[in-house]
């Protein structure tokens, strides 16, 4: 059984991750605003998961703890965050964790059954979004799924997420609506297996499960 977001946050807090204070706060408390339990449910029956924009590794850590996933990997643009992720993951195999230049995804992605793209999209400049998703598609193996989550631009509450990103100095503001994202995904060649929305506090999230 996948734990609730509150339980996931409590679990991370007990682990007392060894990293800077702001990074630690993001790791421990993010399940309260980001529905990690839903993301875990979507990959609970696959063997391997690769997380694009894995941050400090909390999602990969939770996947390795609460699902049957056997192999994990991910990329992040900051070395500090990759170091955080390796520290958090401890004895787990981190051979497929690496720093990413924001453009060239690793060819090794094609050995993974599921790719995660969680709250990355709205940080990508609009002029680069289509090209980025095409790169993701090209690196996936046939039959793999992309579990995509972002903030819904069609919701009034999107402004709260933009304020959140501004407060943390994370940029952002390039959100799209669920319907817009479905069209882009289908134009690239993805098959939409599932799509749905979920509000958590004042954050309106949408989810897409896309198959290559």
Structural domains of the chain, count: 1
Confidence (pLDDT) at 1? 84
Q: Which residue has the higher pLDDT, 199 or 43?
A: 43
pLDDT one-digit tens code per residue, 93-136: 999 999 998 888 999 999 999 999 999 998 899 999 999 999 99
- The CA angle 158-160-205, to the nearest 5 degrees, is 45
Residue 156: pLDDT band with limits 50, 70, 90: low
One-character DSSP codes across 165-192: HHHTT--------HHHHHHHHHHHT-EE
Confidence (pLDDT) at 48? 97
Confidence (pLDDT) at 45? 92
Structure tokens at 172: 């952002």
Domain that holds residue 159: 5-211
Confidence (pLDDT) at 40? 97
Q: Which residues pair with 75 in a beta bridge?
A: 52, 98
Residue 168 has pLDDT above 60, yes or no: no
Tell me the whole-structure pTM to 2 decimals.
Answer: 0.92
Contacts of 27 (CB under 8 A, 6+ apart): 12, 17, 19, 55, 56, 58, 84, 88
Exposure string over 126-156, b if 16+ CB within 10 A, otherwise e: eeebeebbebbbebbeeebbbbbbbbbbebe
What whole-number percentage of the chain has pLDDT above 70? 92
**CATH code, 174:** 3.40.50.150
Grouping H, G, I as helix, E, B as strand and the rest as coil, residue 77 is coil
């Amino acid at each position: 059984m996948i734990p609730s977001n509150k339980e996931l946050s409590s679990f991370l807090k007990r682990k007392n991750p060894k990293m800077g204070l702001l990074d630690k706060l993001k790791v421990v408390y993010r399940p309260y605003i980001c529905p990690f339990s839903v993301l875990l449910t979507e990959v609970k029956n696959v063997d391997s998961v690769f997380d694009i924009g894995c941050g400090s590794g909390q999602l990969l850590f939770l996947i390795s703890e609460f699902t049957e996933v056997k192999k994990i990997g991910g990329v992040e643009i900051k070395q500090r965050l990759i170091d955080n992720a390796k520290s958090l993951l401890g004895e787990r195999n981190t051979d497929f964790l690496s720093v990413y230049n924001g453009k060239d995804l690793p060819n090794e992605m094609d050995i993974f059954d599921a790719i995660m793209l969680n709250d990355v999209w709205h940080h990508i400049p609009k002029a680069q979004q289509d090209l980025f998703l095409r790169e993701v598609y090209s690196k996936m193996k046939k039959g793999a799924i992309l579990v995509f989550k972002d903030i819904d631009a069609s919701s009034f509450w999107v402004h709260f997420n933009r304020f959140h990103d501004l407060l943390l100095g994370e940029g952002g503001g390039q959100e799209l609506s669920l319907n817009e994202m479905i069209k882009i995904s289908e134009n690239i060649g993805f098959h939409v297996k599932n799509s749905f929305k979920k509000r958590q506090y004042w954050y309106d999230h949408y989810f897409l499960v896309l198959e290559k």
